[in-house]
A and B are shown apart, each in its own frame.
Chain A
Amino acid sequence: MTIKVLAIDDSRTIREMLRHTLTQGGFEVHVAEDGIDGMEKLPQVAPDVVITDINMPRMDGFGVINAIRAEAEFAGMPILVLTTESAQDLKERARNSGATGWIVKPFDDGKLIGTIRRITVA
């Protein structure tokens, strides 16, 4: 079964890149442009994994993680944080709010796909 990915990032460039890379990687890709948009799309898309940026207007990545974890239906949803910040404290903070893992931008295509495969049940 095709793995469905919901990618949330306020940068159109990053969204396009994710869409391209992940589609090539055999995933079904849906995108949202900020946390609010992402949370609206979440129930419709019902993804297997969520990838979210941290720094976004309206609702940031931490907001997304909290909101997803607060929904019983998606409480076990794998969430990858996509961030340029490779700083340890940000990883720590992301995980403390319930992120499954992280990808540091700029991402390597193969590694990105590998990471998603790693945390999803195909």
Chain B
Amino acid sequence: MSTANEIRQTFFQECDELLEALDDGLCEIDEGIADESFDLETVNAVFRAVHSIKGGAAAFGLDALVHFAHQFETVLDVMRAGELTPNDDVMKVCHRAADHLSDLVAAGRDNEIVEGDLGTEIAAKLSGLVVGSESAKPDNDTESETFGFVPLGLPIPTNTDDEDQELALNRFCVRFTPSAGLYTSGNDTSLLFRELAELGELEVTAETDRLPDLKNVDPGESYLSWVVILLTEESEQSLREVFEFVDGLCELQINLDLDATMPEGSPDATKDVDDEAQASSGVAAEESDSPTMVAASSPDSGTERAKPATGPKATVRVNLDLVDRLINMVGELVINQAVLTQCIKDAGLLDRGELSTSLAEFRNLARDIQESVMAIRAQSVKPLFQRMARIVREASELSGKDADFLTEGETTEVDKTIIERLVDPLTHMIRNAVDHGLEPPEQRRAAGKAETGHVKLTAAHRSGRVLIEVSDDGAGINREKVFQIAVEKGLIPGDSILKDAEIDNLLFLPGFSTAKEVSNLSGRGVGMDVVRSAIQKLGGRVSIFSQPGKGTTMSISLPLTLAVLDGMVVDVAGQTMVVPITAIVETLRPKAEDIHPLGADNQVVSVRNKLVPVIDLGVVFGHRRTPAPISDMVLLLVESDGSESWALAVDQIFDQRQVVIKGLETNYGHVPGVAAATILGDGNIALIIDPEETAHRSGPVADVGDRARLEEV
């Protein structure tokens, strides 16, 4: 990849961060409106974010982005100047502008063009906000000038005035009287002469008339002036450009000299000129010392750059591949540690005090390292939530329903990959919440609710998993309608008797869609079944809970990481397998009287008066043909989020430990009932089973009927 591309990538990465900062800032301003407080620094930060996007975009020739960012920036600049007070209406426009800016960035990244009039519409609203404001900057053409980013190798561009084409030699006479300010601004007369010399043949004469006796010399003062004769093909314009930075810091006369005589300025005239120049640069001269006054710095000035108390958090940017490699290697380390322990145990050395202490320490360290490394991949869900805020805004606009968006637990950290893969399902759920969940305003009013609906998104850590909930305060699921549709679509028999929760879960069946007319928002041919399978792929589950008239809550429960898992290592017909601990509710050795046959081959076990189907893992995975006698086995009671239970029968339990997840899907493919594999301490490979999928896959549960399938959530 070329460097230009890398920098381009950096730009878009930075844009993402800036857009996040922008959203943050806008939300903070929103909150400020509610408390009637106004934090100028927040507005400044918001301004800087847009400004930086504009700056970078200009370098890559993203004209549309530059143009829009400029318009947005203008509004923020006016706000910054205190001439525009943020209120709800102003902020609404700002939020939409931020959304559009984000679209333009995305379009820039993909080399696409944002179509439609949305940009024009928002731009018009933006300019509407600054009408009549004094600090509204006029559009500056220079700023929207674009330069493609060209890798180096360009010659220094020469000035291209028409006069340049004249080949005749011009003889310029330049009278140049620097003021003290010229020196204090870091300019240097010798460098100016050097540059002039590049234009042609140069003859420099210093005028020293005003130089006082040494004892009267003020080192901060400028006493010299110069007369320069330049023979060049260049125009006067080129000469003036040499003096671009010192314009106003010196007296400059440039004459195209037709006579060959050197001008002689009278000493008096020179003095006047010098005074004038000094006066015009008075500020600079007063504020700073002359370069020649090396030792004389005022003690006060040093303290001017006092550091603010709070600095940014120190961070390093690391390529994600490196982190993943590290995680993988730490995984190997953990496995290796287990192998080592096994070897030492086999060698009968484990009872040596020191050795076992060291081993235990090693194990703890390996685990700590692993946790720390995993933490690197963990990210807060905040950017994800911010994206969802936008989805709510768009959905409420399109559906004509007012919706407030509330979030909780934004700082909750989850593995980066999980966050990335949550975007689509969550987007769909949020859209659903606004589009199908919330009622139209008039209906809400009739029901005695506030016209503005609420959509809430929360995240929290719950016993080693992450729980994300999307809830709305809408009408709740219309169960009659759902049931009717499910029957119409042939998903369930018309005479089914279903519990409320079961009806709610019908929404997750493939091919189910309640929207009578496909709306612009949710009805995109993607049903909740797609949401469910996306979540399941992440090792998560989704469930739904609805109260008529009060609203609907959808909960997603996810693992914290995709790399390790606490598992129970079990023996299944001589094969070692791992069952995720999180799925296991309890383990039991059944008494003979608790086991009841169901049909020819199937059995159920009575657990506290509840009948639970028994599934022999050995049969499911084909390690034996017929179920082993259950009384000889250990049962692992597993429960789905839909509160369906199964008892997985295994031959014995070996151990409970953390295992490193090794995906099968990349190298092999998906095996129903198998979540992944792992490498055990003895170097053998064990399959990690997915209890729910295993249960659904096995015969007995399927025979119990569709009901179980419906609760498969």
Interface residues of A (CB under 8 A from B): 10-14, 16-17, 20-21, 24-25, 35-36, 39, 55-59, 63, 66-67, 69-73, 75-79, 84-87, 95-102, 104-111, 113-114, 118-121
Q: Which of B156, B186, B289 contacts A100 (CB 8 A)?
A: B186
Known A-B contacts: A70-B301, A75-B294, A101-B244. Give 14 more (CB < 8 A).
A17-B7, A59-B305, A66-B287, A67-B304, A70-B297, A75-B184, A75-B289, A75-B297, A76-B184, A76-B290, A77-B186, A85-B140, A96-B283, A106-B145
Interface residues of B (CB under 8 A from A): 3, 6-7, 10-11, 13-14, 44-45, 47-48, 51-52, 54-56, 58-59, 137, 140, 142-143, 145-147, 149-157, 183-188, 190-191, 195, 242, 244-245, 248-249, 283-284, 287-291, 293-298, 301-302, 304-305, 307-308, 311
Note all chain B residues with C-beta closer than 8 A to A108: 147, 154, 157
A119 to B152, CA, bound (A): 20
The answer to whether A113 and B156 touch (CB under 8 A), given A11-B56, A95-B185, is yes
**Closest Cβ neighbor of A113 among chain B residues:** B156
A99 to B184, CA, bound (A): 9
A114 to B296, CA, bound (A): 33
Note all chain B residues with C-beta closer than 8 A to A105: 55, 58-59
A79 to B245, CA, bound (A): 11
CB pair A57 B302 closer than 8 Å: no
Note all chain A residues with C-beta closer than 8 A to B293: 72, 75
Note all chain A residues with C-beta closer than 8 A to B290: 75-76
CB pair B186 A13 closer than 8 Å: no
CB pair B185 A70 closer than 8 Å: no
The answer to whether A110 and B154 touch (CB under 8 A), given A10-B48, A72-B293, A75-B289, is yes
CB pair A119 B187 closer than 8 Å: yes
A108 to chain B, nearest CB (A): 6
A-B contact pairs, 30 of them (CB 8 A): A10-B48, A12-B10, A12-B14, A13-B10, A13-B55, A14-B52, A14-B56, A17-B149, A21-B152, A24-B151, A70-B298, A72-B296, A75-B294, A76-B186, A76-B188, A78-B186, A84-B143, A86-B143, A87-B140, A95-B249, A98-B184, A100-B187, A100-B245, A101-B244, A105-B55, A106-B145, A109-B152, A113-B156, A119-B188, A120-B191
The answer to whether A11 and B55 touch (CB under 8 A), given A58-B308, A109-B152, is yes
Note all chain B residues with C-beta closer than 8 A to A63: 305
**Closest Cβ neighbor of B56 among chain A residues:** A13
CB pair B143 A99 closer than 8 Å: no
**Closest Cβ neighbor of A24 among chain B residues:** B152
**Closest Cβ neighbor of A94 among chain B residues:** B185
Note all chain B residues with C-beta closer than 8 A to A110: 154-157
CB pair A106 B147 closer than 8 Å: yes
CB pair B245 A20 closer than 8 Å: no
CB pair B45 A57 closer than 8 Å: yes
Note all chain A residues with C-beta closer than 8 A to B296: 72
A55 to B53, CA, bound (A): 12
A77 to B307, CA, bound (A): 22
CB pair A55 B154 closer than 8 Å: no
A107 to B58, CA, bound (A): 9
A107 to B145, CA, bound (A): 10
The answer to whether A119 and B186 touch (CB under 8 A), given A17-B7, A20-B3, A69-B289, is yes
A24 to B142, CA, bound (A): 26
Q: Which of A67, A69, A84 contacts B55 (CB 8 A)?
A: A84
A118 to B187, CA, bound (A): 10
A121 to B245, CA, bound (A): 16
Note all chain A residues with C-beta closer than 8 A to B185: 79, 95, 98-100
CB pair B284 A95 closer than 8 Å: yes
CB pair A107 B147 closer than 8 Å: yes
The answer to whether A109 and B150 touch (CB under 8 A), given A71-B302, A114-B156, is yes
Note all chain A residues with C-beta closer than 8 A to B152: 20-21, 24-25, 109
The answer to whether A16 and B284 touch (CB under 8 A), given A24-B151, A114-B156, is no
A13 to B143, CA, bound (A): 17
CB pair A98 B156 closer than 8 Å: no
Which one of A59, A104, A113, A118 has the highest number of Cβ atoms from chain B below 10 Å of its Cβ? A118
Note all chain A residues with C-beta closer than 8 A to B150: 109
**Closest Cβ neighbor of A73 among chain B residues:** B294
Q: Which of A39, A55, A78 contacts B187 (CB 8 A)?
A: A78
CB pair A13 B288 closer than 8 Å: no
The answer to whether A111 and B284 touch (CB under 8 A), given A13-B11, A17-B149, A86-B143, is no
A71 to chain B, nearest CB (A): 7
**Closest Cβ neighbor of A108 among chain B residues:** B147
CB pair A57 B288 closer than 8 Å: no
Q: Which of B7, B284, B298 contacts A13 (CB 8 A)?
A: B7
CB pair A14 B55 closer than 8 Å: yes
A25 to B248, CA, bound (A): 30
A70 to B302, CA, bound (A): 6
Q: Which of A11, A21, A75 contacts B288 (CB 8 A)?
A: A75
A46 to B295, CA, bound (A): 17
Q: Which of B145, B283, B311 contacts A36 (CB 8 A)?
A: B311
B16 to chain A, nearest CB (A): 11
A39 to B307, CA, bound (A): 10
Q: Which of A20, A21, A35, A84 contacts B54 (CB 8 A)?
A: A84
A93 to B195, CA, bound (A): 25
CB pair A39 B284 closer than 8 Å: no
A110 to B152, CA, bound (A): 8
Note all chain B residues with C-beta closer than 8 A to A99: 185-186
Note all chain B residues with C-beta closer than 8 A to A111: 156-157
A73 to B292, CA, bound (A): 10
CB pair B184 A69 closer than 8 Å: yes
B439 to chain A, nearest CB (A): 44
A89 to chain B, nearest CB (A): 11
A13 to B15, CA, bound (A): 9
Q: Which of B58, B143, B149, B284 contacts A98 (CB 8 A)?
A: B284
Q: Which of B14, B45, B195, B244 contacts A11 (CB 8 A)?
A: B14
The answer to whether A95 and B248 touch (CB under 8 A), given A66-B304, A70-B304, is yes
